[in-house]
Chain A
Amino acid sequence: MRGALVLLGLGALAALAQGVLASWIPARLCPDLGLLVVVAIGLCLRSLVGGLLVASLLGYLTDLLSGSLLGQHALLRLLAYLAVRHGSRHLSLRSPFALGACVAALTAANALALVALTSFFTAGAAPDPWWLRDLAPQAVLNALVAPLAVRLADVAVAALGDEDPSRRTVRFDSRSWPA
């Protein structure tokens, strides 16, 4: 529980910091800190329900501080979190390469979903191919920063939270042999 609160605080700080950073760095060169925190939550927080709630809340906070519709980022952060949780069961997302690839894919999916949702819910806003111009630098940047963000979240949870990130539940499926 305390770990979820720590990551919620970290995510809120990241959302505010993103706004400050964006004042000085061009948007396409600014990593999506909110998305990275959600990825970190998926890897560092053991409680699935807690993670769902925190990811959703952070999405709402991003919606409040950005020009998106309320709920847009909340939904996408939720889906990103579920994707990371699902992915971490099949892949070792602790390795920087796998994590980078996963985050790059998430960034692309996130951008495409934002385009689709905005054009669907906002009357007259047709999908614009220019939206995708910033995709490649964003994906690369997020992939590079992701291991650092996860490490930071690990340290924060270990120092302030009540769960040890090095002790995660691992599911073993026993193989059944034919009689």
Chain B
Amino acid sequence: MWTLFEIRNGLRLAIVAVGLVAVALVSMVVDGRRVRGGGELSWWTGAALDVAAPVQRMMSTPVDAIHDLWVDYVDLVGVRRENDELRARLAGLSDENLQLREALVASGRLERIAEMREAFDVPMLPGELVGADASPWFRSVPIDRGRSQGVRSGMPVISEEGLVGLVRSTSRNASKAMLLVDRQAAVDGIIQRSRLRGIVRGLGGEELGFEFVARGADVEVGDVVITSGVGGVYPKGLRVGEIAAVADSDSPLLRTATLRPAVDFARLEQVFVMLRRGPTMELLHGSEEAAPASAPPAP
């Protein structure tokens, strides 16, 4: 037999629990509409992200330091043997060294960024990753650039290695980008060699899936996949990855290949936000949110 106290207590708990569940459901509906419609965070969620981003960066600093220390230690192991070998080869390498330096500059990072800027003719904003996703089931990253720097949701994010993902939501001074490896991410891609089109999908891990029509497919391990530009989200020609394996399939229609991303997401630190959205994103989010013309250029 329940007492009056137990009934009153249970009723209070039920009201609180049902209230919280209702608030969470309403939040999801509203946020789902926001993601589809505009992507800009409300003032309070934006403020929370603005606060969390520097705190996360502060917490990352000691972890990064420990990681660097470990990497340095690993590098040091065997350095004596390597040093002896290098000493022996030093004399012969001095001339070659000059040539290598030139080659390094030519094929280096800055060169590639400059090439990309020329190829796409889009202003790019450099930004840094300040952490990773707080849930193991999603793959998005906070970036230390936000609306005040011209970043808008729907803008592609790249690195000098290739396509990184898409800005999903922004606050004043930070933004969240969905990585290509996120399970919700999909990109229309094309194999550079055979011009075969397919859909690149994030799998949540370190690899991507490439789905293509089986009939007449010409896909080989090592083929480079780039963005096709179809869909109007990403510009054509961004490097997505390399075919790592082609799976056998019983399906007469579709086949799937494993794609090794061009970007090493585990080591990703600096990214570039392309400060112009594709036509589809522009239609989806509205042109009034376009990035300001005074956005700072890439270095």
Among A106-137, those with CB < 8 Å from B are 111, 114, 117-118, 121-123, 125, 128, 130-131, 133-134
Decide: B205 and A67 in contact? CB cutoff 8 A. no
Decide: A78 and B133 in contact? CB cutoff 8 A. no
Bound-state CA distance A61–B55 (Å) is: 13
Residues of B within 8 A of A61 (CB): 48, 134
Closest CB in chain B relative to A11 CB, distance in Å = 11
Q: Which of these binds chain A: B59-67, B88-96, B116-124?
A: B59-67
- Against B, the Cβ 8 Å flags (1 = close, 0 = not) of A45-79 are 00011001100100111111111111111110011
B28, B140, B168: which contacts A117 (Cβ < 8 A)? B28
Closest CB in chain B relative to A159 CB, distance in Å = 22
Decide: A67 and B176 in contact? CB cutoff 8 A. yes
Residues of A within 8 A of B21 (CB): 75, 78-79
Residues of B within 8 A of A32 (CB): 135-136
* CB contact under 8 A between A128 and B24, given known A23-B63, A67-B139, A133-B205: no
Decide: B17 and A82 in contact? CB cutoff 8 A. yes
Residues of A within 8 A of B25 (CB): 71, 75
Closest CB in chain B relative to A68 CB, distance in Å = 6
| B73 proximal to A (CB < 8 A) | no
Among B100-152, those with CB < 8 Å from A are 129, 131-140, 142
* CB contact under 8 A between A20 and B131, given known A64-B45, A130-B203, A134-B204: yes
Q: How many residues of A contact B (CB 8 A)?
A: 56
Bound-state CA distance A114–B138 (Å) is: 10
- Against B, the Cβ 8 Å flags (1 = close, 0 = not) of A32-49 are 101000000000000011
Among A1-18, those with CB < 8 Å from B are 15-18
Which of A22, A122, A138: most chain B Cβ within 10 A? A22
Q: How many residues of B contact A (CB 8 A)?
A: 53
Bound-state CA distance A69–B45 (Å) is: 12
Decide: A130 and B184 in contact? CB cutoff 8 A. no
- Against A, the Cβ 8 Å flags (1 = close, 0 = not) of B15-57 are 0110011011111111110011000000001001100100110
* CB contact under 8 A between A67 and B178, given known A26-B206, A134-B205: yes
Closest CB in chain B relative to A109 CB, distance in Å = 13
Bound-state CA distance A64–B134 (Å) is: 9
Decide: B136 and A30 in contact? CB cutoff 8 A. yes
Bound-state CA distance A28–B135 (Å) is: 10
A18's nearest neighbour on chain B, judged by CB, is B134
Decide: A71 and B139 in contact? CB cutoff 8 A. no
B52's nearest neighbour on chain A, judged by CB, is A65
Closest CB in chain B relative to A48 CB, distance in Å = 6
Among all A-B residue pairs, the 5 with the closest Cβ atoms:
A71-B27, A67-B140, A22-B132, A65-B134, A67-B138
| Chain B residues proximal to chain A, CB less than 8 Å | 12-13, 16-17, 20-21, 23-32, 35-36, 45, 48-49, 52, 55-56, 59-60, 63, 67, 129, 131-140, 142, 168, 176, 178, 182-184, 201, 203-206, 209, 266
23 chain-A/chain-B pairs, Cβ below 8 angstroms: A19-B56, A23-B63, A24-B67, A24-B266, A32-B136, A34-B134, A52-B20, A63-B31, A65-B134, A65-B135, A66-B140, A67-B133, A67-B168, A67-B176, A67-B178, A70-B31, A74-B27, A75-B28, A78-B21, A111-B137, A121-B31, A130-B209, A131-B183
